[in-house]
Amino acid sequence: MHVDPLALDWRPHPRVTWDVLLGPRDLRRALEEDVRHGLTHKPRELPPKYFYDARGSRLFDAITRLPEYYPTRREREILSTRAPEIAARTGADTLLELGSGTSDKTRLLLEALSAGGTLRRFVPFDVDAVTLRSSTLRIASEYPRLAVHAVVGDFERHVPLLPQGGRRLIAFLGGTVGNLAPTPRARFLADIAAQLGPVDAFLLGTDLVKDIPRLEAAYNDSQGVTAEFNRNVLSVLNTELDADFQLEQFEHVARYDARQGWIEMLLRSTEQQTVTVADLDLRVQFTAGELLRTEISAKFTPPQIDREIEAAGMRTEARWTDRAGDFAVTLAVSA
């Protein structure tokens, strides 16, 4: 459900301030435009950000705990061991996290920067105002000398509007950058590079290329949680746009595209059917076997990460991987 951020009580804590760069009209307009475009063009596609209503967020949290889904555990392993080094290298007094969500892994960086004596401000940035408010208040309570400035925004649109000042570490974790196709990914990285001052740094989490069976297993878990999460995007459209998707008539598909270097998550129509999206006055004809793409998740090699960072106007300062070599966290600075 899209909640008006301005309707939330954002002032229950004296050390919390906020910016709302996305209001309810913006959210609604983006949803309508994305869904109309995605369902009327072929191949059909929906942006992955619409997975995340309250139920979708709970399902994704369950996915991160599945034995097949390694990225969250591997990134946490890296941060658990390397956060003090990251803190020492950056000396950041401001941690700014894009797509902060519940800020669970962020605590490892907050603790390291706090222990290093530099931390003064935390800037969580997320499109989900409700989750952002909850995590912001929790962080503010846990760190009594920390100023918290929450920002409701979309990282594909609002990076140029990030709060300035201080010595900033801008973190984009979880491999989320892999959800962007090459052109918007290059645009996002260029926006980050344009933000970085001479004392700022950028911390990027990326999933690494590995054997295809392991990649595909991470998105095809034996318990069917990922399939349920994938179909949840249809539930969101049913609720938000008065659509009539029959979830049981779409099956989950996840496969690795070696040419593109990414996992695709798709929904396959199991029969010929017509779906109505009442709020858009739209009728969509699906043929039996037709695919609707709901997410890409690009996998990277270290040289590719360096090339994309350098093309954006940054340079790689350091990189760390987990012991298995599954995931990478890269520290970049302005070139």
Q: Helix/strand/coil (H, E, C) string of 109-144? A: HHHHHHHCCCCCEEEEEECCHHHHHHHHHHHHHHCC
Query: DSSP string of 17-65?
Result: EEEE---HHHHHHHHHHHHHHHHHSSSEE--GGGG-SHHHHHHHHHHTT
Q: State the Cα–Cα distance between residues 103 and 105, nearest whole angstrom.
A: 6
Q: Is the pLDDT of residue 12 over 80?
A: no
Mean pLDDT of 188-192: 98
Structural tokens at position 129: 């105002």
Predicted pLDDT at 8: 52
Lowest mean pLDDT among 37-41, 132-136, 330-334: 132-136
Predicted pLDDT at 91: 98
Q: Is the pLDDT of residue 4 over 80?
A: no
Measured between alpha carbons, how far is residue 317 from residues 86, 320, 331 in Å? 11, 11, 5
Q: State the Cα–Cα distance between residues 323 and 328, nearest whole angstrom.
A: 10
How many Å separate Cα 264 from the centre of its chain? 16
Q: What single-letter amino acid sits at 307? A: R
Asked if 151 and 124 touch (Cβ cutoff 8 Å), the reply is yes
Higher per-residue pLDDT: 264 or 22: 264
Q: State the Cα–Cα distance between residues 257 and 296, nearest whole angstrom.
A: 10
Q: Is the pLDDT of residue 83 over 70?
A: yes
Predicted pLDDT at 129: 81
Q: Is the pLDDT of residue 81 over 80?
A: yes
Mean pLDDT of 301-311: 98
Predicted pLDDT at 101: 78
Domains recognised in the chain with CATH numbers? 25-51+212-298 (no CATH), 67-210+299-334 (3.40.50.150)
Q: State the Cα–Cα distance between residues 123 and 158, nearest whole angstrom.
A: 14
Q: Is the pLDDT of residue 169 over 50?
A: yes
pLDDT digits (tens, 9 = 90+) for 239-291: 999 999 999 999 999 999 999 999 999 999 999 999 999 999 999 999 999 99
Lowest mean pLDDT among 104-108, 169-173, 228-232: 104-108
Question: Mutual orientation of helices 182-195 and 302-312 as an angle, nearest 10°?
Answer: 60
pTM for this structure?
Answer: 0.93
Predicted pLDDT at 100: 86
Query: Which contacts qualify for 11-17: CB closer than 8 Å, 24 or more apart?
Result: 12/137, 13/137, 13/140, 13/141, 13/148, 15/140, 15/146, 15/147, 15/148, 16/136, 16/137, 16/140, 16/148, 16/149, 16/150, 17/147, 17/148, 17/149, 17/150
